[in-house]
Amino acid sequence: MAETGRTADLDEGLYSRQLYVLGHDAMMRMQTASVLVSGMRGLGVEIAKNIILGGVKSVAVHDRGVAEWRDLSSQFYLREEDLGKNRAEVSQRRLAELNSYVPVAAHTAAALTEDYLMGFQVVVLTDSTLEEQQQVGELCHRRGVKLVVADTRGLFGQLFCDFGEEMTVYDANGEQPLTALVSIVTKDTAGGIVTCLEDRHGFESGDYVTFSEVKGMTELNGCPPVEIKCLHPDSFSICCDITDFSDYLSGGIVTQVKMPKKVSFKSFSASMAEPEFTVTDYAKFDRPGQLHIAFQALHAFQAKNGRLPKPWNQADGDELVTLAQDVHSAQMGLAKVEKLDEAIIKAMAFVSAGDLAPVNAFIGGLAAQEVMKACTGKFTPLMQWLYFDALECLPEGEDVLPEEDCAPRKCRYDGQIAVFGTKLQDALAKQRYFLVGAGAIGCELMKNFAMMGLASGGSGEVIVTDMDTIEKSNLNRQFLYRPSDVGEMKSDTAAAAVKKMNPSMNITAHQNMVGYESERIYDDHFFEGLDGVANALDNVSTRKYVDGQCVHYYKPLLESGTLGTKANVQVVIPFLTEDYSSSHDPAEKTIPSCTVRNFPNVIEHTLHWAREQFDGLFKQPSEKAIQYLTDPNFMDTLKLPGAQPLEVLDVVYRCLVTDRPRGWADCVSWARNHWQCEYSDKIHQLLHNIPPDQLTSSGAPFWASPKRCPHAHDYSADNELHLDYVMATANLFAQTYGLSGSDDRAAVTRILQDVSVATFRPRSGVTIHDSVEEDPQENSAASVSDDSALEELIMLLSSARSSCRFTLHPIDFEKDDDANRHIDFVMAASNLRAENYDIPPADRHKSKLIAGKIVPAIATTTASVAGLVSLELIKVVQGHQRLESFKNSFMNLALPFFTFSDPIAATRRTYHQTTWTLWDRFEVRGLVRPGGDEMTLRQFLDYFRTEHELEITILSQGNSMVYASFMDPDKLERRLELPMTELVAEVSRKPLEEHVTTLVFVMCLSHSDVDVPNIHYTFH
């Protein structure tokens, strides 16, 4: 594509993660929309950044003003040398670097004329007067231009949407359409009742559905979408007459259909008079009405005085209250608030001169998401006003801050000092924070940290670690990276980028994984020197590890995550809240292995099977063979319980001898025969064991829903999917042996003509379990361990070892490289199996999403959640200690839905008369004095018996049980005299590493129902 051009094609490499959120059709609609963003302070540039990353057709940025000191608190594309320059012109150059497919123009005219505005599909106003909002709002409503108004004032935010008299919403929530298997359909005067096999079908009244694969009542198959009414979790009624339909026999799939719906908006002025609010915090249910008045009063104050209220100035606060009273008195009907909350109005006056990066990030992410809704019709738009405040960030117990402490200093933090004063600014500068991850959330957090001045002076430091390199797909939401950075380390590149935003920030980049293997680096000294930790991770295991370290070292943890348009924030405060590991997400739904092996009924099953096939063909055999050739202890491992030596050595022998190719033709032959095995022979064998007319013990058809009766394939040279499979499989097989492959389909077709394929003959002795409760592993006489067969295989391998003069290359599955054939194989393998079972196939997009377990992501969600995390950071740095001061949050921008709640207090437990939480532990010093003798196990047990009246029956450290009262007396007597560190090293069979200064022990008491804290044993 040209730098400023546009074609009907999408760069799926760039937009891959966003495509999983929006879908192809919505992305194409967005690429036809031009957007104007007026106002290039922190909020405006945040919105512009997100929609440019999102991939609209073009963006224009407008500002009639010049950069001021307070802008540097949140406008991350302004530098000190830009002061006095037009904000739009400076921002345009840096915004244009974000996405080469989106042209960005700067507009600096004083007035937004009608002719200019009509050139855009969406207009976004930030930093506009109320008069301009009203004028532009009426014009846009009249001329069919969609409007978003966004504003932030200190700790307050405002968002308004008007998408016209009639807007089509194509998909209200963006979730995958639900499907359910039909158990029975009965005729009813109301139109028919459908009962599903599942306990919960998930549909809601008013949904529309279609039917397929129904036997008997075939009139339902392919019928137009029909509305339903839910009766029970497992049943619903069809809102149409089916009395003349044939009688239902069996089977059927019901699928939800996303029906377009029309929504209507009031104009800006009409909606201001009769507002409809989207509530962000239900603990502040009446707050939107108060803030609706407060923002109008603030506009009146600016119009009257030509400025915003001075920070924490009492006279200006009183004046704003008076103006708010005037607005309140003039309001009627839906906008009427029963009683004005003067404290809220004064708080608005005190902080309105502030400009905070976290608030801009949150409101900017929301606003940009609404712009994308306006462009695409994807997701439910905001109706029509949203207000937000984060007053909990103000210092606890201080109603008013000293005005002189919050006055402008002509420094880059003036926008933040106006809200919190210099005390917080000084504290932020000295913070030492550990940021784990430099991906999407990590980039946004680093930007916020730089704007806030975190670690910008003295001993302050941000340490960011990420072991990944930058990929093209990252550029769509990890905005610190550019195309020229692809292949570079994320942490290094991100650190350099934020240093340009704030040269005073002290940031150090690492490339380490955080876990047990890096405890030499992130040791006691490291964690004890931190003020806090922020997670920006994409996996639960590392989250739990970091969480455990924060509990161990009493460090606050800021935890967050995203999934498409959904996001959450959790704050973990020592001695106050529960930790991350105290709560658990629902377990991931697993697919029974017998379903995957023999009875798939949806495409997810065949994709799961294909993904297992990939590892089973191109990774595990090579790994086992390499281990056999290089590990002198390999044969000993096969003697362990459950090792299945015959199966393992058979895999090794086939890899080294039987299947080993000598050239490309052998690879093609192997791939063709494997095709025959999987898609023809195994299906024939399955139907030999369980014929299509098989009945269960109760006399019912075996092949009834949810089971699908399969049919075998016959290989066809004219079938492109058949050749796709052979091409991908042969190339990957060649790669595992270090051979060259080929893309020449015609040449492969010629090779296939000479490939010999054995005729299928049913095998006897094969057992195929037909229940999800049973082990689905196919068994045959050949799979039963046989000593003589094993001995013969060992001898054959031993004699073949000397001839193994080739190199094996196990292949790790990589979903993001479209040239490596990994997704080619998975897609072809899955769709061939789907065809075996008459399951609709999946396109490449869906195949990659499911098989690659890709987490959908979008820049708007990431920006918003990082803003909320940064607000919690402000509370942590100030030392807030009230539980209600902190906010855990969850949001779904697609709906839009928000919920904020107090963190859950740490659970309190009791032993004897002592109450404790997860933040408590027994502190035991193993050395009474430096250089003295270390405590033995006997002394350790006596200490707890005498000091705490606790009789330990079992003591463990890590995965090792170091003591149990029921041990062999001789072994026990010896252990009792060992020093604790020596005991741990002996039992765990590895010496303690030099960096270890503390051991954590877990004890069980004679009363097993009594919980007690862990023991922290310090020996240095």
Contacts of 158 (CB under 8 A, 6+ apart): 149, 150, 151, 152, 291, 295, 363, 385, 386, 387, 388
Q: Which of 15, 796, 837, 83 lies closest to 476, judged by CA?
A: 15
Adjacent-strand bridge partners of 534? 435, 558
Let me know: does 129 contact 122? Beta carbons within 8 Å.
Answer: no
What architecture is domain 909-1018? Answer: Roll (3.10)
Say if domain 430-599+855-893 classifies as CATH 3.40.50.720: yes
In terms of residues, how long is the chain? 1020
Which is nearest to 13 in space by CA: 820, 818, 823? 818
Q: Which pLDDT does position 792 carry in this prediction?
A: 85
Q: What is the mean pLDDT of residues 535-542?
A: 94
Note whether 430-599+855-893 and 601-772+789-838 share their fold. Answer: no
CATH top class, domain 179-257: mainly beta
> How many Cα atoms within 13 Å fall on the side-chain side of residue 623?
9
Question: What's the mean pLDDT in 224-228?
Answer: 95
Q: At what angle do helices 342-351 and 287-305 cross, to 10 degrees?
A: 50
Q: Is the dihedral of CA 983, 989, 994, 997 positive or negative?
A: negative
Using pLDDT thresholds of 50, 70 and 90, give the confidence band for residue 605.
very high
Residue 618 makes CB contacts below 8 A (sequence gap 6+) with 732, 733, 735, 736, 810, 811
**1000: nearest Cα among 987, 989, 984, 986:** 984
Q: What average pLDDT does the segment 564-569 reach? A: 97
pLDDT for residue 621 is more than 80:
yes
Q: For residue 884, with 0-12 CB atoms within 10 Å meaning exposed, 13-18 middle and 19 or more buried, which class applies?
A: exposed
**Whose CA is closest to 74, among 448, 499, 497, 454?**
448
pLDDT at residue 773 greater than cutoff 50: no
Q: What residues does each domain of the chain span?
A: 179-257, 430-599+855-893, 601-772+789-838, 909-1018
User: Which pairing describes strands 914-916 and 557-563: parallel, antiparallel, or unpaired?
Assistant: unpaired
Rounded Cα distance, 296 and 149, in Å: 13
pLDDT tens track for 257-287:
999 999 999 999 999 999 999 999 999 999 9
pLDDT-based confidence at 770, cuts 50/70/90?
low
Mean pLDDT of all residues in 178-186: 94
- Which pLDDT belongs to residue 929? 65
DSSP 119-175: T-SEEEEES--HHHHHHHHHHHHHHT-EEEEEEEETTEEEEEEE--S-EEESBSS-P
Give CA–CA dist 824/844, Å, rounded.
8
Residue 4: half-sphere exposure toward Cβ, Cα within 13 Å: 5
| 541 CB-near residues (< 8 Å, 6+ apart) | 515
465 SS3 class: strand
Which residue pairs, CB below 8 angstroms and at least 24 apart, start in 591-594? 592/772, 592/776, 593/775, 593/776, 593/777, 594/769, 594/770, 594/771, 594/772, 594/774, 594/775, 594/776
d(CA 204, CA 175): 14
pLDDT of residue 1 exceeding 80: no
Q: What is the pTM of this model?
A: 0.92
Backbone angles phi, psi at 764, to 5 degrees: -95, 160
User: Three-class SS of residue 737?
Assistant: coil
782's CB contacts (< 8 A; 6+ apart) are none
Contact 548, 450 (CB under 8 A): no
What does the pLDDT read at residue 588?
Answer: 66
For residue range 110-167, list pLDDT tens digits in order.
999 999 999 999 999 999 999 999 999 999 999 999 999 999 999 999 999 999 999 9
Return the pLDDT at 779: 45
Calculate mean pLDDT across residues 791-812: 86
Cα 762 to Cα 334: distance, rounded to the nearest angstrom? 77
Which CATH number does 601-772+789-838 carry? Answer: 1.10.10.2660
Q: Round to whole Å and give the CA distance between 71 and 100.
A: 26
Check residue 19 and give left, alpha or beta (phi > 0: left; psi -120 to 50: alpha): alpha
537: pLDDT strictly greater than 80: yes
Q: Are 351 and 155 in contact (CB under 8 A)?
A: yes
Q: Percentage of residues in the chain with pLDDT exceeding 90?
A: 85
Q: Look at residue 928 in the predicted model and tell me its pLDDT.
A: 63
CB 320, CB 298: distance < 8 Å: yes
Q: What is the mean pLDDT of residues 317-321?
A: 98
Contacts (Cβ under 8 Å, ≥6 apart) of 249: 215, 216, 217
Q: Please determine, for residue 830, whether its predicted confidence score (pLDDT) is greater than 90.
A: yes
> How many CB atoms within 10 Å of residue 942?
13
Q: What is the reported pLDDT for 930? A: 64
Task: Check residue 852 and report its DSSP letter.
Answer: T
What CA–CA distance (Å, rounded) separates 889 from 365?
A: 15
Q: What is the pLDDT of residues 18-47, one digit of tens each?
A: 999 999 999 999 999 999 999 999 999 999
Does the structure show a pLDDT above 80 at 1020? no
* pLDDT-derived band at 6, boundaries 50, 70, 90: very low
* Mean pLDDT confidence for 740-763: 95
Q: Give the range among 385-394, 604-613, 627-636, 963-972 with minimum mean pLDDT.
A: 627-636
**Residue 577: DSSP 8-state:** B
Q: Give the Cα separation of 736 and 618 in Å (integer).
A: 6
Which pLDDT band holds residue 802 (cuts at 50, 70, 90)? confident
Q: Would you say 257 and 177 are in contact if contact means Cβ atoms under 8 Å apart?
A: yes
> Which residues lie closer than 8 Å to 17 by C-beta, 6 or more apart?
473, 476, 477, 854, 855, 856, 857, 858
- Of 953, 944, 707, 937, give the one whose Cα is nearest residue 837: 707
Q: Calculate mean pLDDT across residues 905-920.
A: 95
Q: How far apart are CA 299 and CA 304, in angstroms?
A: 9
Look at residue 771 in the predicted model and tell me its pLDDT: 57
pLDDT at 784 over 50: no
Per-residue confidence band for 335, with pLDDT thresholds at 50, 70 and 90: low
Q: Averaged over 404-424, what is the pLDDT?
A: 97
Q: Locate tokens 């039987």: which residue? A: 658
pLDDT (mean) for 335-363: 95
Crossing angle (nearest 10°) for helices 603-618 and 620-630? 20
Measure Cα distances from 783 to 51, 470, 646, 647, 766 in Å: 58, 46, 8, 7, 10
- Residues with a catalytic annotation lie at 594
Q: Which helix (H) or strand (E) holds 631?
A: none
pLDDT in tens, 688-735: 999 999 999 899 999 998 999 999 999 999 999 999 999 999 999 999
Whether the bond between 600 and the residue before it is cis, its omega within 30 degrees of 0, is no
Token pair 């919505």 is found at 26
Q: What is the reported pLDDT for 334?
A: 58
586 pLDDT higher than 70: no
In percent, how much of the chain has pLDDT > 70? 96
Closest-CA residue to 1011 (of 862, 868, 907): 907
The three-class DSSP label of residue 703 is coil
Residue-wise pLDDT for 406-415, tens only, equals 999 999 999 9
Query: What is the DSSP-derived secondary structure letter of residue 469?
Result: B
What average pLDDT does the segment 467-490 reach?
Answer: 96
pLDDT surpasses 60 at 778: no
pLDDT score of 786 more than 70: no
